[in-house]
Chains A and B, each alone.
Chain A
Amino acid sequence: MVNIENLHKKFNKNVVLSGVDLTINEGGIFAVLGPNGSGKTTLIKSILCMVIPNKGNISVLGENIKNNAAYRHKIDYLPQIANFPNNLKVKELIKMIKDLRGKTEADKQLIELFGLEPFLDKKLGNLSGGTKQKVNIVLTFMFDSPLIILDEPTTGLDPISLIRLKELIQTEKANGKTILITSHIMSFVEEVSDEIVFLLEGKIYFKGSISELKTKTNQPDFEHAIASILTNNHA
């Protein structure tokens, strides 16, 4: 599905990724974890070609992504911070993205699911953070792409929406899609993900299932397993 070879990226002198090799197979939910500044977002943005790597190759569904825009038809991306043009209405934004990407009917159902009907005629600048995130989720899930990338999807969501989001993720998984998630909420990751990738200092420190991580670190639960990696490496 996604194949990353020897990926290097630095911003000025700040080395963020140094030689990441990663293969993500089709189907299932993968969580990319790591401490702040470990390069999770950079890794994801490199897959989307929003960040241009200094070195290395990335291919998505067998296509090399360099100088290629069409492959993004196969990716749905939920950005970390939902920033939208402020003077646009929710309705107009959805219409615009549809115009740019192609037709879909799934938006109506998603709008209903997250209760966004009362906000459709409001300007995006006047929405609260959580509502913006819901709009963001609608925009991401309304297209039927084989790869879904979610960067901190839980930010600002209320408990009901969080449950809906989890259900949505599970439905997409059942449809055979590949989902890539980054999150700081360990309980969320533990609940949804099949496999985790742990980034540390620009490299992949661990890749495997949660139970494998528990055995490796000799810890009874997931949260402590992650904490032990961090303390052992920073002590």
Chain B
Amino acid sequence: MKLDILREMNRERAARRAVILITDTTDGGQRLVREAEADHDPLAPELLARFRSGKSGIVEAEGRSLFLTVQVPPPRLVVIGAVHISQALAPMARLTDLDVTIIDPRTAFATPERFPDVNLLPLWPDDALAQLPPLDRYTALAALTHDPKIDDPALVAALKVECFYVGALGSRKTHGRRVERLTAAGLTSEQISRIAAPIGLDIGAVSPAEIAVSTLAQVIAALRQDRRRAPT
């Protein structure tokens, strides 16, 4: 691999843009295709399918055996709310290789002392999200503040771009009111139905750390959807 191509792949990954590296397995020749350029590529149908599946593999084309290295952005977890659950969730999520960002405009909550070594943005969600690489299909978002002023704008943004997981803390009653607000904000019932609420797998979680475990398990279940034995 040419160093230039390796640099480009690392740059694209850092910017959270998907690319496919095409390697001729016979002579080692290589080229890189960005998702935005795939439409016009001679291998377009194959490339577009690979961008969707995220799976690398061999294809036979033009009498050659080509290996496609599919590099999609690494999975990321954006947490709205620098709350007690988030303090447990952030280190657990990092152990499972999720990039974690925590957003909370309440500066009493969003302190480095409470969140050492975490990317922490003490801003309103709209301002914070504008500073980050855009939300995308490779991002999970968990809204944990209980405060509609903070949670709702982030939920709307996440549902619009089809984040692979969207969860929101709160009882069924709280969620019922949330559904009404999001409907009024113009989201479809199909979009709203993607919200995991009450948040987390039903493991009877009680403590903040247990709720963090159930939430993280639900995020992983969404990430690994295609590997699960039985849908729930």
Do A and B truly interact?
no
